[in-house]
Amino acid sequence: MAQHGWSERNLAESATLFALAYRAGLANLEGKASFFIQPADLEMDLKGGVDFRIRRNNNFLRVDATDSRRQKPTKIRRTVEFAKGGGRWVYILKVDWMEASSIAIDPCFTRAYDQFIHGRDGQFIAIDRACPIHGNECVLARKLWNFGESINRTLASSKTQAHDFVIPVSKPPF
């Protein structure tokens, strides 16, 4: 999914990073575990096929996000090749383009994304407010919450180690 020129991500990847970083920040406030999202830098993407990593305490899940059914088999083949060559397994996360697009067209998305996520490739991110102007009262907060819940359900239903990286948050902040 990474379409970096460099650090330009497509809409679904940007929304996914934002929703998970928001969820990580909320989980950290509740103190259940330590969560961070690390957007891939150019080397992580090109050498490992990774869009981002989810960090839970001191463990990592390498993730390649996609919103395309047609690209998923290609991504799976690529991660198998990396693993056979001695690389680490990468979890392929299929996200819903419609959910992601509803976040990206929100009037507060660009400002919030630019402030909280953009330009932080390779850094660990966890945020606890959705919008720099409206905080968690913003409509964007509800959209990020719902998308994060959807991603969490996908992780929880995985038969791989991905189920260990569910980001639990007991209640929404709004």
- DSSP string across 32-67: SS-EEEEE--HHHHHHH--SEEEEETTEEEEEEEES
Q: Give CB contacts under 8 A, 24+ apart, made by 115-119.
A: 116/18, 116/21, 117/14, 117/17, 117/18, 117/21, 117/39, 118/7, 119/7
pTM (two decimals): 0.89
- Look up residue 124 and give its amino acid: F
Q: State which H helix or E strand residue 64 sits in.
A: strand 59-66
Kindly give the confidence (pLDDT) of every residue in the chain, 174 residues in length, as a single tens digit, with 9 standing for 90 and above: 444 443 567 889 999 999 999 999 999 999 979 999 999 998 887 777 789 999 999 999 999 888 877 777 777 777 677 667 766 778 889 999 999 999 999 999 999 999 999 989 999 999 999 999 999 999 999 999 999 999 999 999 999 899 999 999 999 999
Structure tokens at 1: 């999914």
For residue 35, what pLDDT is reported?
98
For residue 154, what pLDDT is reported?
96
Tell me how far apart the alpha carbons of residues 48 and 19 are, in angstroms, rounded to a whole number: 23
